Amino acid sequence: MRLKHPLLFLLCCLICISAVAQEPVNTYASLFQQNKYLKDWASKFPHFQLSDFRYAQTDKMESYQDANDLQPDKHFEDLYGKLISYTADKKKYLDFYSYQISLERVTVKGKKVIQAGVDVHQVLLLGDYRKKTLSRIMQVGPDQFLEEAVWLSDSTFLLVGTNSMQPSYTPFMYVGDLKKQQYHLYLPKNKSLQRPGVYKSLRWQLLGTVIWL
């Protein structure tokens, strides 16, 4: 069957796709109130409104497998377990810390502390204990910062961060879909929505004393 108006049909499809991509944003309002990490992140931006964010684009998810024999590791859990984000069943996790920041437990003046060394780039790692795989699914440049990640389901997650516009930082949000291997990017319509300084997640408080090199 031939379409009488193929261009009109294509336009309608694009509108529908855009609407589907944008629809989830408004449903996350309660999450930004209930999840203490997202709530704290949003509070750093004066006049933050989730409704200001608009769908910008859809990107293909990177997938570079770093390991195919992943197993729970007590040493890794001890150092990074309180920083990374797990699914409800603890079978998957998102980690944008261990690639960039090296952590080590040391004793300083008789007190046990964590020593942290920082590299420039961040990489988002997906650990999957069912598949026993560890994969790189996003890499950002030196002017971008991944700051919080929260699972929405077993296969979707919300990732928030900032672009550095020194001395200010502008927010972005990604909705990641593991099944479709896609990211939906959302940016604020209000270009003046900025944060004046570097963000430090509340998760770091769970580690106790951290000495930065």
d(CA 110, CA 122): 33
Could you tell me how far CA 213 lies from the centroid of its own chain? 25
Q: What is the pLDDT at residue 21?
A: 46
Computed on alpha carbons and rounded to an integer, the radius of gyration of the chain in Å comes to 19
Q: Maximum Cα–Cα distance for the chain, whole Å?
A: 80
Lowest-confidence range among 4-13, 132-141, 149-158, 188-197?
A: 4-13
pLDDT at 120: 79
**Percent of the chain residues past pLDDT 70, beyond the cut:** 89
pLDDT value at 159 more than 90: yes
Q: Where are the domains of the chain?
A: 6-212
pLDDT tens, residue by residue, 86-121: 999 999 999 999 999 999 999 999 999 999 999 878
- The rounded distance, in Å, linking the Cα atoms of 107 and 94 is 29
pTM of the prediction? 0.88
| 19, pLDDT greater than 50 | no
In the chain, helix, strand, coil percent, each to 5? 25, 40, 35
- Range of weakest confidence among 11-20, 21-30, 101-110, 170-179: 11-20
Instruction: Check residue 26 and give its pLDDT.
Output: 79
pLDDT tens-digit map of 51-85: 999 999 999 999 999 999 999 999 999 999 999 99
Question: Confidence band (pLDDT; 50, 70, 90) for 24?
Answer: low
The per-residue pLDDT for range 178-196, each reduced to its tens digit, is: 999 999 999 999 989 999 9
Higher pLDDT: 15 or 2? It is: 2
CA distance readout (Å), 62 to 22, 127, 133: 22, 14, 14
What pLDDT is recorded for position 94? 98
